[in-house]
Structures are given as structure tokens and as C-alpha cells.
Amino acid sequence: MLKIPDVTAYLKRCNHTKKQSAETLLAQIGEFYLQISPYKTPYTSQVNTPLSWWKACIPTPPYLQLLAIKLFSIIPHAASCERIWSICGWVVGKRRTRL
């Protein structure tokens, strides 16, 4: 998993200002949309995973690659929602009516 301090350390090595970084990221998003190199590498779902495909694409500087890897590192789960519903169940459920 890619940690935010790793990303910020890399961005500091590039010596870009926030504006330059944003402009570079927007340019890379445009290149990705138009499938300009290095983003025209074929993706095969039987062989590749999205994470491995993004690790194989190495733009310079790799702002879009870092963003994509960070997004694919997020684990979707509903634990916090389940916790809230459980607490609401205490307020409305049988436990509350016994008080």
C-alpha cells in the first residue's frame, strides 16, 4: 500500500510547486484519456490487475500513477456503517425498552 508520506516525499524531490503539480496531473489525465504513451499499454483482465497495470505505466513525473495506486489501495468496507446501525439498534431495540 502506498502511504501519503511516500507520495509527498516523491513530490518534494520533483521540486514542483502546487500549481505545477496540478498542471502536470491534468496533462497526464488528458494523455490517459487520449491513450497517449505510456497509457496505451493493453490491459488483459486474465493476466493483469488494475494495480499491476498502473505500476507498469511509468510517466515522468508519475503523478497520475501515484494517484491511481493510492485509489486502488483503498479497501472498501462497511464496518463503520455497521457499527452505527448496531448502536442505533441499542437505542430502538429490546434493550432500550427494558430500561
Give the pLDDT confidence of 35-72 residue by residue, as tens digits: 998 888 888 888 888 888 888 888 888 888 888 888 88
- pLDDT band of 85, cuts 50, 70, 90: confident
Task: Return the HEC string of 10-57.
Answer: HHHHCCCCHHHHHHHHHHHHHHHHHCCCCCCCCCCCCCCCHHHHHHHC
Q: How far apart are CA 60 and CA 80, in angstroms?
A: 38
Listed in sequence order, the residues at least 6 apart from 38 whose beta carbon sits closer than 8 Å to its beta carbon are 57, 58, 59
Predicted model pTM: 0.62
